[in-house]
């Protein structure tokens, strides 16, 4: 089972540690390639442990970068930890990121935090990773320190699909445009969102489509682009399917607020205050404003019919396995 520590905890020191540092937002295939490389090295030395050092909150929510738009997250810290654990990492060390910590120089970070507090025999670095104050540190910094501190530096080349380097930025673009297949290709898993079911206006009940209003666990979590989606979730250990609307509900509301509403098929139970994970499996259509509730309802039945057909195709595949 993966161990989780804050950098300010009493972390068990082990000089035989294979370490990497990063935000790991989304834990996409590029991140997975780094993790796989670390685990391959560990197989050659069974006494070693693999360690990911990450940050919470995301550094760009504390100190926005002038060269990038405001950050939206592919994964909050809880989601990140679940994904990292699924890939077999031994330990994650979380650094509470503050403006004060951001002033730490790259040399001090490696010497005081990584080498002295955690221990390291090997450090893996992504092809474009910068660390320390103003991202001043990089491969050259590590190479210089490695001679003094006696660790080995491993540079991991970019992971490329269809001629493009995978990055959290590219994945955010795909998700924001509802391009779930491309996001899946880069993530290696469907995009998902953790949240809590909150009280809504219950209008959906009046037209036969009761919805669960989902409040994301993180205010910085990225919503997929506006529209209707085929989704799945887990309720008390069973997989359930439904359809979700992301947008401003233009037919029934004038409020300029983006919301996530989920209608689960064949579920008739109180979901308020439940914490759910919503997996976005397929983009169905764009959000529209209808002239009446009757036309909206008619469209929802068409959407539901399409989603149920997808479920039947999934069931037929499962039955042949």
Residue range 278-315, pLDDT digits in tens: 999 999 999 988 988 899 999 999 999 999 999 998 87
Beta bridge partners of 160: 165
How many Cα neighbours within 13 Å face the side chain of 301?
A: 7
Task: Choose from 3-12, 215-224, 310-319 the range with maximum mean pLDDT.
Answer: 3-12
pLDDT given for residue 250 in this prediction: 53
pLDDT beyond 80 at 206: no
φ/ψ of residue 26, rounded to 5: 90, -20
Q: From CA 31, how far away is CA 186, in angstroms rounded?
A: 10
pLDDT given for residue 249 in this prediction: 63
Kindly report the length of the chain: 321
Least confident of 68-82, 97-111, 186-200, 249-263: 249-263
Closest CA to 115 of 152, 169, 168: 152
Neighbours of 298 (CB within 10 A): 13
Query: What does the DSSP assignment read for 187-239?
Result: HSS-EEEEEEEE----HHHHTT---EEEEESSTTBPPPPSEEEEEEEEETTEE
Q: Which two tokens stand for residue 6?
A: 């804050």
b/e map 201-235, b = 16+ CB within 10 Å:
eebbeeeebbbbbbebbbeebbbbbebbbbbbbee
Residue range 244-270, pLDDT digits in tens: 999 976 555 555 578 999 999 999 888
**Strand, coil or helix: 110:** helix
Instruction: Please report which residue ranges of the chain form alpha helices under DSSP H.
Output: 29-44, 59-62, 77-86, 106-108, 139-149, 168-176, 180-187, 203-206, 293-320
| Residue found by looking up tokens 């300010």 in the block | 8
- Do the strands 275-285 and 227-235 form a parallel or antiparallel pair, or are they unpaired? antiparallel
Q: Which two tokens stand for residue 76?
A: 């909050």
Q: From CA 176, how far away is CA 311, in angstroms rounded?
A: 24
Domains of the chain and CATH, by start: 3-165 (3.40.50.620), 191-320 (2.40.30.30)
pTM for the model stands at 0.90
Q: Which two tokens stand for residue 132?
A: 């320390």
Q: Which two tokens stand for residue 244?
A: 């979700």
Residue range 48-93, pLDDT digits in tens: 999 999 999 999 999 988 877 788 999 999 999 999 999 999 999 9
φ/ψ of residue 186, rounded to 5: -85, -35
């Amino acid at each position: 089972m993966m161990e989780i520590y804050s950098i300010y905890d009493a972390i068990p020191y082990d000089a035989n540690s294979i370490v990497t540092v990063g935000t790991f937002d989304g834990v996409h295939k590029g991140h997975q390639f780094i993790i796989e490389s670390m685990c391959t090295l560990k197989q050659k030395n069974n006494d070693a442990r693999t360690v990911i050092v990450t940050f919470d909150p995301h550094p760009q929510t504390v100190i926005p970068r002038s060269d990038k738009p405001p950050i939206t997250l592919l994964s909050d810290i809880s989601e990140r930890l679940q994904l990292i654990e699924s890939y077999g990492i031994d330990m994650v060390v979380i650094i509470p990121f503050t403006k004060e910590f951001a002033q730490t120089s790259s040399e001090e970070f490696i010497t005081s935090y990584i080498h002295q507090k955690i221990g390291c025999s090997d450090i893996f670095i992504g092809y474009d990773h910068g660390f320390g104050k103003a991202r001043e540190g990089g491969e050259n910094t590590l190479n210089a320190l490695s001679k003094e501190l006696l660790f080995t530096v491993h540079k991991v080349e970019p992971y490329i699909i269809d001629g493009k380097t995978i990055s959290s930025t590219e994945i955010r673009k795909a998700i924001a445009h509802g391009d779930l297949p491309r996001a899946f290709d880069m993530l290696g898993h469907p995009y998902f969102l953790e949240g809590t079911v909150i009280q809504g206006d219950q209008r959906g009940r009046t037209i036969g489509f009761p919805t669960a209003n989902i409040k994301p666990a993180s205010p910085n979590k990225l919503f997929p682009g506006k529209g209707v989606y085929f989704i799945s979730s887990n309720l008390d250990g069973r997989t359930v399917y439904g359809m979700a609307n992301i947008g401003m509900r233009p037919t029934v509301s004038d409020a300029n607020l983006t919301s996530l509403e989920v209608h689960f098929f064949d579920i008739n139970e109180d979901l308020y205050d439940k914490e759910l994970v919503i997996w976005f499996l397929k983009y169905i259509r764009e959000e529209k404003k209808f002239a009446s509730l009757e036309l909206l309802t008619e469209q929802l039945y068409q959407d539901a019919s399409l989603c149920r057909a997808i479920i039947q195709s999934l069931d037929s595949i499962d039955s042949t396995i």
